[in-house]
Structure 1
Amino acid sequence: MRIDRLALLALEVVADAVARAALGEVERTWGHRLALEYLVKIGAAERWQAAAFWEELAWECHPRDYEHGAVYMQTTRLTSALNAWSYNLGREPPDPVEMAHRVRRLALAEGTQQNPCMCNRYRPGERATIREFFGAKLFREVNDGPAIVHPKDPGWVVRLVDGEPVLDQMTWGFPVTLRGKRGQPLKPKPVNNARFDKLGGYWKHWAQSPANRCIIPAAAYAEAVGETGHMTTTWLSVKGEPLFAWAGLWRESDEWGACYTGVMTDNAPALADIHDRSPVIIDRADWSAWLTAPLGQLARFDRPYPADRIAVQHTQIPWKYSGAETTNNN
């Protein structure tokens, strides 16, 4: 199919809309409508596809929604449409890395200094320390797993079995299976964060069941800080404690077996320069409540953890090195 300047412009407008959707709500414009109409006119898009894209843009969300699966799937559906229309015009779709850079540039231009996707690595601590700290017995014998856990890596969780805390190992992230441009199933993607204020909605199926709640043992979690292309790793932990309890959900999946996701809430204002969200950290006296109480009684955990109890360790380790302190950074 022959592509002209207007077609290229239409694809660029659509790509911009996709990037803005990754940051939050999109204000639909006549430019979006004209771009979609032109793609339909030249045969790159079906009318129903353009209509679905237009409606998808109207979905109400917020930048902090990014860590829950609904927004992940929304932006993926928009991206799939953009990729299909690019292929139909004989062009390669936008490179995912470049799209990520585009999102980041928009975030910076609009005054959002944080990386839209947060908390995707943490240190679980040593197995023996975890067992002692939580008083948990080992559920089954497995390897220790990585020292720094990333989405789709194995990590430790503490959950109740017959009323007793056990230490189990699962995959970090609930799998979301998407489809390619020809309808073929793609490899599942891990959704590793869940917004607390969505526990009664998107995550309710698991959050309302105490049996599907868990605690994620963590020694520290990481955030990316700095300008795009020069972001460094900052580690956050609880002062005076070898570990802390991060509220989590878990379930069995066909794709990866047992898997878990971490629950997020607002960050303390004093730490907002690092990120406006943080893990839900539960003090020792409240571990049992998180694991056993009805969902309606958990609202008290949806609050910023006190900044004066958080230790912040800024490093010069580039974020792209996955937090590995032994990496040669030269």
Structure 2
Amino acid sequence: MCNDYRLEVDIASIVEDFDDLKIKIKMPEGTPNVAARADINISDVAPIVRSGEGRGSGELVNRRWSWPGQNGRPVYNFRSEGREFTSHRCLIPADGFYEFTAPLEPGQKRKTKWLFTMKDHPWFCIAGIWRSHPEIGEAFTMLTMEPGEDVAPYHSRQIIPLPRDRWADWLDPSVPAEEVLGLLPKGSLLPLQVYPPAAAQASLL
């Protein structure tokens, strides 16, 4: 499951794109201080857009990725099947997410790292939820489902990137989750091998 993603787009572009979709974004805690990051890892703080007051609105805030589960392990992914999510929904801005597979070649110690980006947009939003935890405060997690054709060769589960016409619906908890959460068409997500680099991989062949 996804334990690493990328966000290099700036906050101004995020707000502008939401405005183009007629989704009014408020920043109740001020403009989030967000630096471009190639890797956002579990327990890092990153921006989310959570449901606002009424349809067509959202709040942009910085929150921690994952909260402690009952077994002490971080809850960074959460199964979506059979759940309604009638509150505490959020959108997680990203311009890529990573999956890891077994090493491609003998002697390669690290897993092979793949970056998935959206074919038709420079950035996108992942469906998530947030919770308040007594020890760490508010935190978010990414929802998952059975993989689509683009991700299935790399992992048995996948996070849920949402097309832009579903962002407002996900921020509206009155819209049933099953009407919003779903897989993108084949070819929507583009995988790129980032480790080992192409040059290093060529030297192994």
TM-score computed with the length of structure 1 as normaliser: 0.51
Q: Does the C-alpha gap of structure 1 residues 145 and 300 become closer, same or farther in structure 2, counting only changes over 3 Å? A: same
Q: Does the C-alpha gap of structure 1 residues 257 and 265 become closer, same or farther in structure 2, counting only changes over 3 Å? A: same
- State the partner residue of 1:291: 171
Decide whether the 8 Å contact of 2:113 with 2:193 is kept in 1.
Answer: yes
Structure with the bigger RCO (C-alpha within 8 Å, sep 6+) is 2
Structure 1, unpaired ranges of 5+: 1-117, 179-187, 201-206, 319-330
- State the partner residue of 1:123: 6
Deviations 1:217-273 (A, max 9, x none): 111000012338331211101113121111110122222111001111122234311
C-alpha distance in structure 1 between counterparts of 2:143 and 2:189, whole Å: 18
Quick check: which one's helix share is greater?
1
Q: Which has the larger radius of gyration?
A: 1
Decide whether the 8 Å contact of 1:145 with 1:154 is kept in 2.
Answer: no
- State the partner residue of 1:152: 43
Task: Give the drift of 1:172.
Answer: 0.4
Task: Give the drift of 1:274.
Answer: 1.1
Q: State the identity as a percent.
A: 27
Decide whether the 8 Å contact of 1:219 with 1:243 is kept in 2.
Answer: yes
- State the partner residue of 2:192: 313
Decide whether the 8 Å contact of 2:47 with 2:60 is kept in 1.
Answer: yes
Structure 2, unpaired ranges of 5+: 20-24, 198-205
Decide whether the 8 Å contact of 2:52 with 2:171 is kept in 1.
Answer: no
Q: Which amino acid aligns with 2:7?
A: P
Decide whether the 8 Å contact of 1:267 with 1:305 is kept in 2.
Answer: no
**Aligned pairs, number:** 183
Pick one of 129, 138, 144 that aligns with 2:27: 138
Pick one of 56, 60, 69 that aligns with 1:167: 60
Deviations 1:62-121 (A, max 9, x none): xxxxxxxxxxxxxxxxxxxxxxxxxxxxxxxxxxxxxxxxxxxxxxxxxxxxxxxx1001
Quick check: which one's strand share is greater?
2
C-alpha distance in structure 2 between counterparts of 1:220 and 1:150, whole Å: 13
Task: Give the drift of 1:122.
Answer: 0.4
- State the partner residue of 1:303: 182
Task: Give the drift of 1:290.
Answer: 1.2
